[in-house]
Structure 1
């Protein structure tokens, strides 16, 4: 193997340093830039659905009126407001006509908090109209149900 001259050694050293500098410089290079962006997500679909209840005393007879208490359960994770209540009457006996009953509802646009049960949302009355010209015996022991919807 041939020995390198002093000039060749210096040239080789300078070339080596130049290669390291170029390679090392690439390792420290970076880009500068500017940017912007945004993010979005849809809100929930609303307060969910509440379950409405009507509660009144048993033993209604023709000509009598009982108080009805309306309440709501909200199993969702957000609060909601119950608007106007719309009660209807059904009976368990086909001969006991729902038309013989009058039901009212008074509501106060009540807030029903998330994950609650039994929140009062209004009150009203249920009247069993006495029809003197028709036998109402079909209503004896019949179950009267007040169903509710709201807006």
Structure 2
């Protein structure tokens, strides 16, 4: 029997490895399987809380009114609906009576998307009622705040 040269032995070894690799790959191609499974996760506990804003023009005087725009920011990961709006007035001067003001809030039942900011959720009017019997000078340059809540 004839001896193989070093080059022939290397060639035969490489060919053998390649044949095993190709044969092994072919074996994987013929394997089959079946299976089943499931997964579970808990949903969010709710729509979360939105931040509501009331925006209106400066310079309100007795007997005048301004439009109020109500907007919402939703920093949660799910959308939520802003329902009935309730608004109230306060001032930074105790002698400037909140009772001299009227504010309305028209509800829009608006869907506020997750992560949204400045979504319009309603509108209204802020009135500064003119008092014929009381001096309203305390309201000059007073800061009037409209607070808004939703159900």
TM tier, smaller: 0.7 to 0.9
After superposing on structure 2, the runs of 4+ consecutive aligned residues of structure 1 that deviate more than 6 Å are none
Q: CA deviation at 1:107?
A: 1.4
Partner of residue 99, structure 1:
99
Q: CA deviation at 1:44?
A: 1.1
Q: Distance between the aligned counterparts of 1:78 and 1:38, measured in 2?
A: 24
1:144 counterpart = 2:137: no
Q: Distance between the aligned counterparts of 1:39 and 1:75, measured in 2?
A: 28
Gaps of 5+ in 1: 1-36
Q: Distance between the aligned counterparts of 2:42 and 2:96, measured in 1?
A: 50
Partner of residue 46, structure 2:
46
- Which deviations, in whole Å up to 9, do the C-alpha atoms of 1:70-123 show, x marking residues without a partner? 000000000000000000100010000000000001011000000010000000
TM-score, structure 2 as length reference = 0.73
Partner of residue 132, structure 2:
132
Partner of residue 81, structure 2:
81
Gaps of 5+ in 2: 1-36
Q: Distance between the aligned counterparts of 1:40 and 1:94, measured in 2?
A: 56
1:111 counterpart = 2:76: no
Decide which structure has the larger Cα Rg and report it: 1
- Which deviations, in whole Å up to 9, do the C-alpha atoms of 1:101-149 show, x marking residues without a partner? 0000101100000001000000000000000100000000000000011
Partner of residue 16, structure 2:
none
Q: CA deviation at 1:42?
A: 3.3
TM-score, structure 1 as length reference = 0.73
Partner of residue 31, structure 1:
none
Aligned residues: 116
